[in-house]
Structure 1
Amino acid sequence: MRGAAVSIASKPAPTTAERIRSACLRARGAILALDGAEPETATIHHLLPDGMVAITVPADGVAATRVGDAPDPVQGLLELTDYAPLPLREPVRSLVWIRGPLHPAPPHEVAAILDVIATQDPNPALLQVGAEDTLLLMEVESVVVADSDGAESVGLDALLAARPDPFCAMETPWLRHMDSAHQDVIERLAAKLPSSLRQGRVRPLGLDRYGFRLRVETDGGDHDVRLPFPQPVNDVHGLSQAIRILMGCPFVNGLRARQ
């Protein structure tokens, strides 16, 4: 992650806990590191209602073997990477690190845990648990996120109370479509940038209920800019209106028929 965040106005933005929950939902893969061992891929990573993090790792890997054989919990570090939806010069939007002791999931609880995960994230990789993968549980001791705003930690209670952004699932296809088919929209949003950034290459970087984010790639570095909505939105209709207002479109509700 390079560059710096630029604030256009003092408006509401996602809390640290909300940013972490959204980043965790978008990050389809992660790595789990144990002291003295090479990191391994963690296909599934899910914060459970009780505050434990469910993690799946290869059944024949070091993590599954060491945690399964150890008489005491084994300390681990889970790293999640949130990539930008578009191929940018610097593709990483944020990194999340979750640290804590690891336990094998009790065999009689595995099915119930997988059901809980599947209700929110029906990932086909869940079907590999018990065959190619093993389910581990991490007690959360610390959570840290790092992005263009800097690094910040958040407590477990705040993390459990937060929810992912409502537009997480649609963000990637929506921004890719905007970049490929609606450069006029990007140009109108870019007109809101400080004059010092308007000469750079402007690309869509992110979208959430609080606003739109642009990445400006210049010869001097990368800059992330948040364009806040007039107020937070919760559905696609509200999002459409907010984008029109941000663009300066006079038809907030779309084109109107002539009287």
Structure 2
Amino acid sequence: MATAAPTTAERIRSACARGGGAMLAVEGIEPVASPVHHLLDDGSFAITVPATGPVSSLLISSGSAGVQAVLELTDYAPLPLREPVRSLVWVRGRLQQVPTETVAPLLDLIATQDPNPALLQVNTGPETADDSYALLRLEIESVVVADSTGAESVALGALLQARPDPFCTMESCWLQHMEAAHRDVVERLATRLPMALRQGRVRPLGLDRYGVQLRIENADGDHDVRLPFAKPVDDVTGLNQAIRILMGCPFLNGLRARRV
């Protein structure tokens, strides 16, 4: 049978790759935004915080002991929904400074996989500008994800083995375009829903190699439904074909009418 949905670890990796909102919480300090949050192959997160902020100051005073911290990643829907948060990921661990001599090589490593413009603001020398960021490392102790179905912990090994969905960085643009210019596609997909759910407002919620997610907003609340593809897809051609099959289009597999 075809896999109907990404694993929890794959969903987390996709949320990281999309680069959504991330906040770092340290006890006794107001949470701060972290524009860079990159999972490294050694099982730690490289994150950034303001170089002159309280988190950086606390780490300097803590020395090699570091401090306990929680990184919260928020996966937002790409459309203005009533409930825009699709999932939350909490990464708990020990926060450490990155030695000055290894900051630049680590930035280069991150940039090869995630060319985030915020990397250019990371302080790489002894001088610290007011608008610069410090590069830190969060040694992972636990990972928990929560969504509308509940909460689940994920083993670090599974997280490292998983890969982001091949369409995760394009998902937002595609769903926004579908909502704005191709409501006919959404309406065709909605015909696959149970009759009881067709009365509400149907919105595209998610898209990945395993299927399409729809959000139905109606008077009694929100309902999320996944429409799985017949098989996982890996490229744009396969994705287009899979969506056409879900829509019930003729000539589903590229076949053409037989000439007589």
TM norm structure 1: 0.93
What is the deviation of 1:185?
0.8
CA distance in 2, matches of 1:32, 1:243: 38
Matched residue count: 251
What is the deviation of 1:29?
2.9
Give the direction of change, closer, same or farther, for the CA distance of 1:10–1:119 in structure 2 (3 Å limit). closer
CA distance in 1, matches of 2:76, 2:166: 18
What is the deviation of 1:11?
4.8
- Superposed CA deviations along residues 87-122 of structure 1, whole A, max 9, x for unmatched, are 101111111110100100011111111111111110
Of 96, 101, 108, which residue of structure 2 is paired with 1:103?
96
69-78 or 201-210, which moves further after superposition? 69-78
1:250 maps to amino acid: P
Which consecutive residues of structure 1, in runs of 5 or more, have no partner in the other structure? 1-8
CA distance in 2, matches of 1:112, 1:62: 25
Please say if 1:37 is aligned against 2:29.
Answer: yes
Of 67, 70, 87, which residue of structure 2 is paired with 1:77?
70
1:149 maps to amino acid: T
Which consecutive residues of structure 2, in runs of 5 or more, have no partner in the other structure? 124-128
Moved over 3 A (4+): 253-259
What is the deviation of 1:218?
1.0
What is the deviation of 1:196?
1.0
CA contact (8 A) 1:27 1:83 kept: no
1:207 maps to amino acid: L
Counterparts of 1:1-259 in structure 2, within 5 Å, are 11-71=3-63, 72-130=65-123, 131=129, 132-253=132-253, 256=256, 259=259
- SS across alignment from 1:140: strand
CA distance in 2, matches of 1:257, 1:180: 32
CA contact (8 A) 1:68 1:103 kept: no
Amino-acid identity (%)? 68
TM norm structure 2: 0.93
What is the deviation of 1:256?
4.8
CA contact (8 A) 1:244 1:251 kept: no
- Superposed CA deviations along residues 47-91 of structure 1, whole A, max 9, x for unmatched, are 001111000000111111101220312000001111101110111
Q: Which has the higher contact order (CA 8 A, sep 6+)?
A: 1
Q: Which residue of 2 aligns with 1:3?
A: none
Q: Which residue of 1 aligns with 2:126?
A: none
What is the deviation of 1:257?
8.2
